[in-house]
Amino acid sequence: MQLTAKLIQVLPLQTGTSKNGEWKKQDIIVETDGQYPKKIYVSIWGDKINPNDLKIGNDLQIDFNIESREYNNKWYTEVRAWRVKVEENKTTPIPTSEDDLDFLDNEDEDKLPF
């Protein structure tokens, strides 16, 4: 699955050692766009963590899997990212030629009568 959302919070990096060796986990909170924005808690594990991409305000494109598991008769769901990229911002083109700026020279023609 894939989602594009704005990064709103970076939680502290978690590290540890298991029988398989060292591990690290970075949890983040992102917010979707739209009429009814939703906040989503996402976990990033191991070498998928890129601190340069995790800047508050970045629009992130997140590829993820959702997994649920049971522990002590309760169910827990995790959104686990397997790829996180900064979404390229689409900007408005800036006028670069004099032809693009012609509308600024016609101030006298567009005067209002009042």
- Per-residue pLDDT tens digits for 80-112: 999 999 987 644 455 555 555 555 555 555 665
Residue 25 placed within a domain: yes
Residue 49 placed within a domain: yes
CATH code for position 8:
2.40.50.140
- Concatenating the DSSP letter of every residue in 55-80 gives -TT-EEEEEEEEEEEEETTEEEEEEE
CB-based contact 85:60 (threshold 8 Å): yes
Residue 13 placed within a domain: yes
Residue 103 placed within a domain: no
Q: Considering the entire predicted model, what is its pTM?
A: 0.73
Residue 101 placed within a domain: no
Rounded to the nearest angstrom, the gap between the alpha carbon of residue 71 and the centroid of all alpha carbons in its chain is: 30
Per-residue pLDDT tens for 22-55?
A: 999 999 999 999 899 999 999 999 999 999 999 9
If one counts the domains in the chain, the total is 1
Domain that holds residue 75: 2-88
